[in-house]
């Protein structure tokens, strides 16, 4: 409170912020992700104490591979959550899209990339249809996508036909989840990521300084840079000591970074946040709200398809269970656990990765301890409830302390 | 009448909703550098009049002139294109976005160069322009990057008004700008309205609060039951007389010469 008063006059003229204000913004801005990272550390410690294999390079590599499908689907879910909507069809869509790819590749001998493109097109088309129904006829997205969930599961059975299962043998498809890069390539990845991140930070900072808008020195940027560099180097070192950096992880990272850029840095992303925050205000500001909604559901359908392709690649097959079980709920739970609000307008694509890591770690750790599915489901449910509670409490605090 | 040709002029404007005559041959005008207070009881037609000017309702009859030329306003974009900006009572702000993003909502600056293909936002330019605009208006906000939802009611109102100025309008319509504000916040908003006048804008303020209206308005225009019930210079009339015109007590509806009736 006092920090706010102290800087009132300074800010209007675009001068430097007081350190207290910078600190407050740092805490507010990154609080949820810091919370999740701490949660991850706690989870890791608990499992490591019980089972020393948990933090082994081999298991961490397995963990990263296990979360790619959920993570990819969650990237699309984040966009839907930012609108304050829900897409219950992503699990079924991922199964159906993968089945379409498998049928085209195996039965019709299509080129692998064309078959994958067809799968993504199926996901995008379904998203377009569901998004249009939802926005044009103002049917709650919950209902539209629930209908979709049933219909696309039926379609999956139909596409797979009598055998109910298709084995994928095209190495281009199976390679997606089963390719590991050599140590050298892994280190090149690390260097490129660190270099690009550093360049983006430095360029952005220089631009703000030139415009006289720099708040605080470059210290926080340097801390972020060092932190990320350490993380990347550590991750590559661990992955290299096992089988190497997996292609699947690079694909997931690529989508997370790319879609985070779209969400936070582009006009479209800004409009998604605006519609999620106040659709009527967005409409009056001239934003074509329904177009944004349809586009978001197309993103969610496409990401579901991409996740489905990845799952099929890992399994070397598509079967009647593809996209089923708790995949849908975990893909939605992940971003929520990691801090994307269910109420719309708040969140980031990083939560797709962080949330998948939390859920993946719990599931992986309990597998290592050979706990039963009963325990696994109950624990995961408890973690989700806890995360949503934290979100709800944070929202209440914003409301009570926010407005004067 | 006010000196000089009016910027915006309505002549004999009528609007009917089914059996209800919401506006009945109303004449209204606002000049550059003038604040007009638009007052009247609930259902007197204030909102209908503003919506007609803002292009949300089309008028059934009468003429609208802007800078001396007859214009037709049939949709909000028409009004915006002419240079008429409206700030509605609900402000239409996105609470989850910061001040800069709310100001530029729907008209984001796109970065030049490689970012253009992805419609990358030029945050620095937007923040710079926001800081310039707000400091010109002497509006103080703790941080341009704080979420609008965390601001006070007065600050939110000022952000909404500042946003309406981005399109460089000539006329600004403000719907109940001081409703639900505390005393110090009301003062800030009224000061902002005065600065709009100093910028030579024509300002129309709808308000229920006669104290506020008397504090800022150059002219007070009274509507009653859809008709003009008075058009007064603010410094030549008392609050009681305006109340009389609003309620119609001691004044039998002569819409063309109401000022004398109120005496």
Query: Above 60 in pLDDT, residue A2?
Result: no
Contact B120 A287 (CB under 8 A): no
A296 or A400, which is more confident?
Answer: A296
pLDDT at A339 over 90: no
How does residue A272 score in pLDDT terms, banded at 50, 70 and 90?
A: very high
* Residue B146 phi, psi (nearest 5): -85, 150
Which of the four pLDDT bands, split at 50, 70 and 90, describes residue A87? very high
Percent of chain A with pLDDT over 90: 68
Is A267 in Cβ contact with B108 (below 8 Å)?
yes
B9 CB-near residues (< 8 Å, 6+ apart): B28, B29, B64, B65, B66
Give how far B228 is from chain A: nearest CA, Å: 30
Q: A396 touching B, CB under 8 A?
A: no
CB contact B108 to A (< 8 Å): yes
Average pLDDT, stretch A87-96? Answer: 96
Q: Rounded distance, CA A353 to CA A75, Å?
A: 8
B184 interface with A at CB cutoff 8 Å? no
- What does the pLDDT read at residue B150? 86
Contact B39, B246 (CB under 8 A): yes
Nearest CA to B196 out of B131, B138, B141, B148 is that of B138
Confidence of residue B75 (pLDDT cuts 50, 70, 90): confident
Q: What's the confidence (pLDDT) of residue A31?
A: 58
Q: How confident is the model at residue B253 (pLDDT cuts 50, 70, 90)?
A: very low
Residues of B in contact with A207 (CB under 8 A): 124
pTM of the full structure: 0.86
Give, as one character, the DSSP assignment of residue A105.
Answer: I
Degrees (nearest 5) of the Cα angle B51, B57, B63?
90
- Chain B residue with CA closest to A397: the answer is B150
**CB distance B226 to B21 below 8 Å:** yes
Say yes or no: B129 contacts chain A, CB-CB below 8 A.
no
Do the Cβ atoms of A270 and B150 come within 8 Å? no
**Mean of the pLDDT values across residues A276-289?**
90
Q: Does B234 touch chain A (CB under 8 A)?
A: no
* pLDDT given at position A18: 53
Tell me the pLDDT band of A210, cut-offs 50, 70 and 90: confident
Contact B106, A267 (CB under 8 A): no
Contact in structure between B163 and B169 (CB atoms under 8 Å): no
| Residue in B97, B101, B128 nearest the CB of A211 | B128
Mean pLDDT of A220-232: 92
Residue B144 and residue A266: Cβ atoms within 8 Å?
no
Dist CA B241 CA B232 (whole Å): 10
pLDDT tens profile B146-173? 889 888 888 999 999 999 888 889 999 9
pLDDT in tens, A12-21: 333 444 555 5
The answer on pLDDT for A264 being more than 90 is yes
Q: Is the pLDDT of residue A397 over 90?
A: no
pLDDT of residue B220: 93
**Contact (CB<8Å) A276/B96:** yes
pLDDT: which is higher, A72 or A400: A72
Which residue from A398, A368, A307 is spatially nearest to A94, judged by alpha carbons? A307
The pLDDT value given to residue A214: 67
Q: What is the per-residue pLDDT for A80?
A: 97
Would the CB atoms of B108 and A213 count as touching at under 8 Å? Answer: no
What does the pLDDT look like over B92-149, one tens digit per residue? 899 999 999 999 998 888 888 777 778 889 888 899 899 999 988 888 888 888 889 8
Which residues of B are less than 8 Å from A403 in CB distance? 149-153
Chain B nearest C-alpha distance from A262 (Å): 8
Inter-chain touch B106–A268, beta carbons under 8 Å: no
pLDDT tens per residue across span A104-126: 999 999 999 999 999 999 999 99
pLDDT higher than threshold 70 for residue A163: yes
pLDDT of residue A388: 78
DSSP code for A362: H
Second-level CATH architecture of A19-179+246-399 = Orthogonal Bundle (1.10)
E strand residue ranges, B149-225: 171-175, 202-206, 219-224
CB burial of A354-369 (b: ≥16 within 10 Å; e: otherwise) equals bbbbbbbbbbbbbebe
Segment A233-255, tens digit of pLDDT? 999 999 999 999 999 999 999 99
Cα nearest neighbour of B56 on chain A: A284
Helices and strands (DSSP H and E) totals, chain B: 9, 10
**Cβ within 8 Å, pair B140-A274:** no
* Average pLDDT value over all residues in chain B: 86
On the question of pLDDT at B260 being above 60, the answer is no
pLDDT at A196 over 70: yes
What letter does residue A106 receive in the DSSP assignment?
I
Q: Is the CB of A322 inside 8 Å of chain B's CB atoms?
A: no
How far off is chain B from A7, nearest CA to CA, in Å? 6
CA distance A268 to chain B (A): 8
Could you read off the pLDDT of A27-57 as tens digits, one per residue? 444 456 777 888 899 999 999 999 999 999 9
Tell me which CATH code domain B8-94+150-262 carries: 3.40.50.300
Residues A124, A305: contact at Cβ < 8 Å? Answer: yes
Q: What percent of chain B has pLDDT over 70?
A: 93
- Position B263 scores a pLDDT of 37
Model pLDDT for residues A301-316, shown as the tens digit of each residue: 999 999 999 999 999 9
Asked if the Cβ–Cβ distance from B143 to A17 is below 8 Å, we say yes
pLDDT of residue A217: 73
Between chains, do A286 and B121 touch, taking CB under 8 Å as contact?
Answer: no
Q: What is the mean pLDDT of chain A?
A: 88
Task: Compute the distance between CA of residue B246 and CA of residue B208 in angstroms, rounded to an integer.
Answer: 11
| Cβ contact, residue pair B94, A13, below 8 Å | no
Contact across the interface for B106 and A286, Cβ inside 8 Å: yes
Decide if pLDDT at B257 tops 80. Answer: no
| Min Cα–Cα distance to chain A from B64, Å | 23
């Amino acid at each position: 409170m006092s920090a706010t008063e102290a800087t009132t006059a300074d800010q209007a003229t675009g001068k430097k912020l007081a350190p207290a204000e910078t600190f407050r913004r740092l805490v507010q801005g990154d609080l949820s992700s810091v919370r999740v990272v701490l949660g991850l550390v706690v989870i890791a410690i608990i499992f490591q104490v019980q089972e020393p294999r948990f933090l082994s390079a081999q298991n961490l590599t397995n963990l990263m591979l296990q979360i790619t499908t959920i993570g990819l689907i969650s990237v699309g879910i984040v966009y839907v959550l930012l609108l304050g909507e829900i897409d219950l069809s992503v699990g079924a869509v991922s199964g159906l899209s993968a089945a379409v790819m498998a049928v085209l590749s195996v039965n019709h001998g299509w080129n692998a990339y064309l078959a994958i493109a067809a799968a993504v097109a199926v996901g995008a088309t379904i998203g377009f249809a569901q998004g249009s129904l939802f926005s044009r006829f103002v049917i709650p997205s919950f209902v539209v996508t629930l209908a979709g969930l049933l219909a696309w599961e039926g379609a999956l059975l139909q596409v797979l036909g009598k055998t109910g299962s298709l084995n994928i043998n095209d190495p281009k498809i199976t390679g997606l989840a089963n390719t590991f890069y050599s140590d050298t390539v892994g280190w090149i990845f690390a260097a490129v990521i660190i270099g690009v991140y550093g360049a983006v930070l430095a360029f952005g900072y220089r631009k703000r300084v030139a415009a006289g808008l720099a708040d605080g020195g470059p210290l926080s940027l340097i801390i972020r840079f060092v932190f990320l560099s350490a993380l990347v180097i550590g991750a590559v070192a661990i992955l290299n000591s096992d089988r190497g950096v997996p292609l699947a992880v690079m694909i997931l990272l690529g989508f997370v970074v790319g879609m985070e850029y779209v969400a936070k840095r582009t006009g479209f992303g800004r409009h998604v946040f605006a519609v999620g925050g106040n659709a009527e205000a967005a409409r009056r500001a001239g934003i074509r709200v329904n177009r944004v909604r349809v586009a978001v559901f197309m993103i969610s359908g496409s990401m579901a398809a991409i996740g489905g392709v990845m799952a099929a690649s890992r399994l070397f097959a598509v079967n009647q269970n593809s996209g089923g079980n708790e995949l849908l709920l975990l893909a939605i739970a992940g971003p929520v656990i990691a801090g994307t609000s269910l109420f719309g307008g708040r969140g980031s694509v990083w939560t797709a990765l962080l949330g998948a890591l939390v859920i993946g770690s719990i599931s992986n750790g309990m597998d290592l301890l050979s706990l039963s599915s009963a325990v696994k489901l109950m624990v995961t449910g408890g973690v989700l409830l806890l995360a949503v509670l934290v979100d709800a409490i944070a929202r209440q605090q914003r409301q009570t302390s926010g407005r004067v | 009448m006010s000196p000089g040709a009016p910027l915006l002029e309505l002549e004999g404007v009528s609007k009917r909703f089914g059996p209800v005559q919401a506006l009945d041959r109303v004449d209204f005008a606002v000049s550059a550098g003038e604040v007009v207070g638009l007052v009247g009881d609930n259902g007197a037609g204030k909102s209908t009049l503003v919506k007609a000017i803002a292009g949300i309702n089309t008028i059934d009859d009468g003429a609208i002139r802007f800078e001396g030329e007859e214009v037709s306003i049939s949709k909000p974009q028409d009004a915006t294109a002419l240079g008429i900006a409206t700030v509605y009572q609900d402000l239409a702000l996105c609470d989850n976005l910061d001040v800069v993003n709310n100001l530029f909502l729907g008209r984001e600056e796109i970065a030049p160069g490689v970012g253009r293909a992805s419609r990358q936002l030029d945050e620095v330019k937007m923040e710079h322009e926001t800081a310039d605009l707000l400091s010109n208006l002497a509006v103080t906000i703790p941080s341009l990057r704080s979420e609008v939802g965390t601001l006070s009611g007065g600050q939110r109102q000022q952000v909404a008004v500042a946003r309406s100025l981005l399109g460089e309008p000539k006329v600004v319509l403000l719907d109940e700008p001081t409703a639900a504000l505390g005393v110090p916040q009301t003062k800030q908003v009224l000061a902002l309205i005065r600065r709009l006048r100093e910028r030579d804008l024509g300002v129309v303020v709808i308000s229920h609060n006669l104290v506020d209206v008397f504090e800022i308005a150059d002219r007070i225009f009274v509507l009653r039951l859809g008709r003009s019930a008075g058009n007064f210079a603010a410094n030549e009339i008392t609050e009681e007389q305006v109340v009389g015109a609003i309620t119609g007590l001691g004044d039998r509806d002569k819409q063309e010469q109401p000022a004398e009736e109120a005496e």
